[in-house]
């Protein structure tokens, strides 16, 4: 969790460095999204799927002509990995570049590539010496979404879709590929 705080501080430092530089250009915009997220992942060594449900908070800043930065923190939980009866909770904290098309229009789409950390907990993770109840790994999230503006400062995130790759130990190749789908509400600042 300390690393999540570090990512948040790094993102806030980046935004606070960018905003004063762009203060005279009204193109700098911030948006805060609260999203219900569902993650569909494959069990480590079978074809059984597992669904994790949760939510995410995403902060984005449009810096220059659609190009910006974003930070995403997501937490999700599943009661059983496949038929094993072993629960899984997963948190990710990622940040990186984002590009938004038609930011000022009624319909707006974006794409982003985010890097960070994943934390699996309340589960059983294989290790060379047995098992442990959690593990950390790197996380890569590539995706995008579609927003529909309701009012000047409020939009619906109709679709938030991403491919998430984590590397939590799993006794096979230590790689998890996950499809993340979500929808939610966006509050915009400075628009």
Boundaries of every domain in the chain: 2-189
Q: What is the pLDDT of residue 25?
A: 47
Q: Distance between CA atoms of 106 and 181, rounded to whole angstroms?
A: 22
Tell me what pLDDT residue 6 has. Answer: 57
94: phi then psi, degrees, rounded to nearest 5: -135, 155
Contact 73, 57 (CB under 8 A): yes
- Locate 28 and state its tokens: 């700098």
Q: To which residue do tokens 């805060």 refer?
A: 32
pLDDT digits over 55-103, tens only? 999 999 998 888 999 999 999 998 877 777 778 888 999 999 999 998 7
Residue ranges of the chain with pLDDT lower than 70? Answer: 1-28, 42-48, 191
* pLDDT at res. 131: 82
Can you tell me the distance from the alpha carbon of 72 to that of 57, in angstroms, rounded to the nearest whole number?
6
pTM for the model: 0.81
pLDDT of residue 104: 75
**Residues 6+ away with beta carbon under 8 Å from 119:** 1, 3, 4, 90, 91, 92, 134, 135, 136
* Nearest CA among 184, 185, 182 for reference residue 38: 182
Domain 2-189 = CATH 3.40.50.720: no
């Amino acid at each position: 969790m300390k690393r999540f705080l570090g990512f948040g501080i790094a993102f806030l430092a980046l935004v606070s460095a960018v905003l004063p530089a762009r203060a005279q250009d009204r193109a700098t915009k911030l948006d805060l999204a609260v999203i219900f997220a569902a993650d569909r992942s494959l069990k480590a060594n079978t074809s059984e799927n597992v669904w994790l449900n949760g939510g995410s908070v995403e902060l984005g800043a449009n810096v220059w002509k659609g190009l910006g930065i974003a930070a995403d923190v997501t937490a999700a939980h599943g009661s059983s990995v496949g038929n094993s009866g072993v629960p899984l909770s997963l948190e990710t904290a990622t940040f990186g570049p984002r590009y938004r098309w038609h930011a000022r229009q009624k319909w707006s789409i974006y794409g982003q590539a985010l890097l960070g950390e994943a934390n699996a907990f309340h589960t059983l993770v294989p290790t060379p010496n047995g098992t442990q109840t959690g593990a950390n790994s790197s996380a890569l999230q590539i995706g995008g979404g579609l927003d529909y503006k309701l009012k000047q400062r409020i939009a619906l995130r109709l679709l938030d879709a991403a491919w998430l790759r984590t590397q939590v130990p799993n006794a096979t190749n230590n790689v998890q590929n996950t499809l993340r789908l979500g929808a939610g509400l966006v509050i915009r600042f400075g628009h």
